[in-house]
Amino acid sequence: MLSELHVKNFAILDEVTVEFGPGLNVLTGETGAGKSLLLGSVNAALGGRVSKELLGSGADYALAELLFDDDACVRDLLEQYDLPQSDMLVISRRITDTGRSISRINGEVVTASVVKEVASRLFDIHGQHDHQTLLYPAKQLALLDRYAGAEAVAAASEVRLLARACKAAKRELTEAREHGAKLQRELQMAQFEYDEITAARLTPGEDEAAEERFRVLSNREKLTEAVAEADAILSTDAASVTAGIGRALRKIAKVSSLDPKLEAMYEELRLLEEQVNDGAAAFSDYLAELTGTEEEFAQVGERLDVINRLKQKYGRTIEDILAYAAEAEATIAKLSDFEGYLTSLTEKVKESETALRKAAGTLTKLRETAAGDLTEKVRTALSDLNFLSSDFAVEFTKLDEPGETGAEDAEFMISANPGEPRRPLAKIASGGELSRIMLALKTASAGKDEIETLFFDEIDAGISGRTAQKVAEKLAQIAQSRQVICITHLPQIAAMADQHFEITKAVTDGRTRTSLCKLTEDEIPRELARMLGGAEITDSVMANAREMRELARKRK
């Protein structure tokens, strides 16, 4: 609910603060007193177009500020835009003499689009087209769903979720098809790499063994020559080390008994002879085992070439190469079933489309039933508001395929005068007509529209008498569940007010200024009498005003 409007330096409004209350708030005053300026300041605060010409004389800025007593209905938007939250909500706009304007929500600077999005949850202005949410077909469809009841609201929510899921499934299928060629190339490459590695039949450690064997085979002649010479030195030649040690042992054996020290030396020399003999035997064995052919040498070289080529491509070690092959195998397993993957995605899309069509069909039936009932109520309300032979209907347009809003668009169509074709609400030219049409819609859907504050301007244009009384009663009816703010010249409407504000204009110090005050219960009849009697207020006019106020209180 709008609890306060604060305006400063707005044309002839020097500084005005209006504290609105629940129910029906009425603003009255002489023509030209500045009632439209108040509406203009509200429009400005809610992101409407303004110009620096609106600034008061001599002022370097103008300010329009709205204070709402609760932010619950827009809390999700405040979170979405990272705006401060509190028990109240403040929307303000400051316009400078350079033409620049700054909008704020709870003190944080925001764009006009954010203000309008937040305002659409809080406020409807009826009279001019700004901020009239029901002029937009999407809002009309949402109202129709709320009018249809909880089942339709739940069905609309289900359709929205199913449509998003269907859209996501279609997008996934499209992307898969678009990337199909790329995935096939990835599959072919993975298959080639896997085949190349597995064809090599690598075993861990074989590279080291092959490198060692390759060194031996490539140096076989040098190894044979060196080992043969060493073997000859140790045991083969007549003057070999083995023969020399044997002679030395025999010499010492003859005299070792003469000196105990020689016995120890003899033992050491005997051990040396054994070691030399072992070494000579090892050389002989090595020479016997040192085999190899040119064919083996070529085979080992080729094997090393294969291993080294794979190392260059897939890893520094055989273990790295085998790990790469395992990854390629996993890729193959994943991509080789691509056709099956496409088939599953296609089936997923079909299932989601079927579910969406079914849910949308249910929602369509609920909407059609609700549209018939709403149409009758709006037509009755229009008749009460002096629309002779008016024609209202909810027209559905079937969509090619269901979407987030269902299987159809809906638009409120009306013919306000006999002989005219039905037209969309947004095409209604007269502000007064549009206000009364909106009043009829609000009356028909009372309690089902989420907007808490309604501002009516020009709603009394071209009406009087019984029609004026009907308009007043319907405003009072809506005000039982919504806050209504109404600028009017009709005493029938003013008499229904829960809060009555008088707007006056006066010239002081050579300047014209507009002021506003809230009337007490004792002061209200005087303003009603002015509206009834004009310049001269007689006792009978005052009596009529008091009676009108009393009758209004009883009707409420």
Kindly give the confidence (pLDDT) of every residue in the chain, 556 residues in length, as a single tens digit, with 9 standing for 90 and above. 999 999 998 887 888 899 999 999 999 988 777 777 888 888 888 887 777 667 777 788 889 999 998 878 888 898 899 999 888 899 999 988 887 889 999 999 999 889 988 888 888 887 654 456 677 888 889 889 988 988 999 999 999 999 999 999 999 898 888 877 777 788 889 999 999 999 989 888 888 888 877 877 777 778 777 767 776 777 766 557 777 777 778 777 777 777 778 878 878 888 887 887 777 777 776 766 677 677 777 887 888 888 889 999 998 899 999 999 999 988 888 777 777 888 889 999 999 999 999 999 999 999 999 999 999 999 988 888 877 778 899 999 999 999 999 999 999 999 877 778 888 887 875 666 777 788 888 888 876 767 888 888 877 777 777 888 888 888 898 898 889 999 988 899 999 999 999 988 887 777 778 888 999 999 999 999 988 876 678 888 888 989 899 888 887 6
Rounded distance between C-alpha atoms, residue 55 and residue 63, angstroms: 9
* Residue 77 in tokens: 């938007």
Nearest to 485 by CA among 510, 444, 456: 456
Residue keyed to tokens 């999407």: 138
pLDDT at position 429 = 54
Rounded distance between C-alpha atoms, residue 514 and residue 15, angstroms: 9
Rounded distance between C-alpha atoms, residue 377 and residue 474, angstroms: 13
| CA–CA distances in Å: residue 427 to residues 102, 136, 182 | 32, 11, 52
Residues for the chain: how many in total?
556
| CA–CA distances in Å: residue 284 to residues 221, 239, 245, 463 | 15, 18, 19, 131
pLDDT at position 467 = 80
Nearest to 90 by CA among 66, 114, 109: 66
| Count of CB atoms situated within 10 Å of the CB of 400 | 6
Nearest to 304 by CA among 371, 407, 207: 207
pLDDT at position 245 = 78
SS3 293: coil
Residue 151 CA from chain centroid, whole number: 26
Q: Return left, alpha or beta for 25; rule: phi > 0 is left, psi -120 to 50 is alpha, else beta.
A: beta
| CA–CA distances in Å: residue 81 to residues 85, 115, 143, 261, 450 | 11, 11, 26, 105, 21
| Count of CB atoms situated within 10 Å of the CB of 532 | 19
* Residue 334 in tokens: 């994943």
Number of H helices, E strands in the chain: 18, 15
Domain boundaries, the chain: 2-128+432-519, 185-335
pLDDT at position 98 = 81
For residue 32, give the amino acid letter: G
| CA–CA distances in Å: residue 218 to residues 208, 211, 303 | 15, 11, 14
Q: If one looks up domain 2-128+432-519 in CATH, what number appears? A: 3.40.50.300
Rounded distance between C-alpha atoms, residue 554 and residue 556, angstroms: 5
Nearest to 9 by CA among 28, 37, 46: 37
